[in-house]
Structure 1
Amino acid sequence: MDEAVKRSLACLLLACAGAAGAQALHDPTRPPASLAAPQAGAGAAAAGPAAQPAPRLQSVLVGRQPGGRSVAVIDGETLRVGELYKGARVTRIGQDEVELRRGGARQVLKLNAAAALGHGIERIPNQ
């Protein structure tokens, strides 16, 4: 009987040792690392260390009726036309884009992630 107890303990120890070396589980709901951390590329190096990451348009809700309310979510902040986002005024909310103006600079944020990589700031004359 002592031999059976020893075998049981040995099997238990081997099972615990195998579980200790197991890999951590992958979270399928976690966003890709490319979206979570800013990429160090040529654009980031040229902008300098003090440059803030570009705002990200996450959602747009446009009213169906003419003159209906439109709402945009930029970096988790819900905004309407005329409101300020980090010093830039929301001037237009479209089906898949939002226009921000800061002084003479205009910035268009797009919902499509591929198009968002190419968004930029454009200088326009003061009106």
Structure 2
Amino acid sequence: MSARLLLCALALAAQAASAQPLPDPTRPPASLTTPAGDAAAPHSVEPQLQSVLIARHAGGRHVAVIDGQTVRLGEQFRGARVAQMTQNEVVLVKGRERRVLRLFPRTPAPQRLNERD
């Protein structure tokens, strides 16, 4: 009886050891938690739009959070001016370069399987 119990315990321990942890959705981006100048730090080419807050009344505040940094309409983010904000997008302009950050990035449409008659 104890041999079965030991075998079950070993099987459960092996299963737990091979399980992969799920990423924490509340954890800040790695770029915020890695010290500046760290060579091992991952460098994000595309800034991540995390939140957009637009006041309901005309002339109200427009605020966005990009890579953990709060910016207002007209302010600078990494050398680019925050030119436009909508509920789902922020437009950054730097010289002639225009970059649109989306809160919900577009995903490719799912491919249809060939239907047989």
TM exceeds 0.5? yes
Q: Give the % identical residues.
A: 46
TM-score normalised per structure 2: 0.62
1:90 aligns to 2:82 (yes or no):
yes
Deviation at 1:100, TM superposition (A): 0.8
1:13 maps to a residue whose letter is: L
Query: By percentage of residues, which structure has more helix?
Result: 1
List 4+ stretches of structure 1 deviating above 4 A.
Answer: none
Instruction: Find the aligned partners of 1:110 and 1:25 in 2 and give their Cα distance.
Output: 30
1:15 maps to a residue whose letter is: C
Instruction: Find the aligned partners of 2:71 and 2:96 in 1 and give their Cα distance.
Output: 21
C-alpha root-mean-square deviation of aligned residues, in Å?
Answer: 2.7
Number of paired residues?
90
Equivalent residue for 1:62, pick from 39, 54, 60? 54
Q: Greater CA radius of gyration, 1 or 2? A: 1
1:114 aligns to 2:109 (yes or no):
no
Q: Where do 5+ consecutive residues of structure 1 fail to align?
A: 1-6, 37-50, 118-127
Deviation at 1:95, TM superposition (A): 2.1
Q: Where do 5+ consecutive residues of structure 2 fail to align?
A: 30-42, 109-117
Match of residue 94 from structure 2 = 102
Match of residue 5 from structure 2 = 12
Instruction: Find the aligned partners of 1:95 and 1:11 in 2 and give their Cα distance.
Output: 59
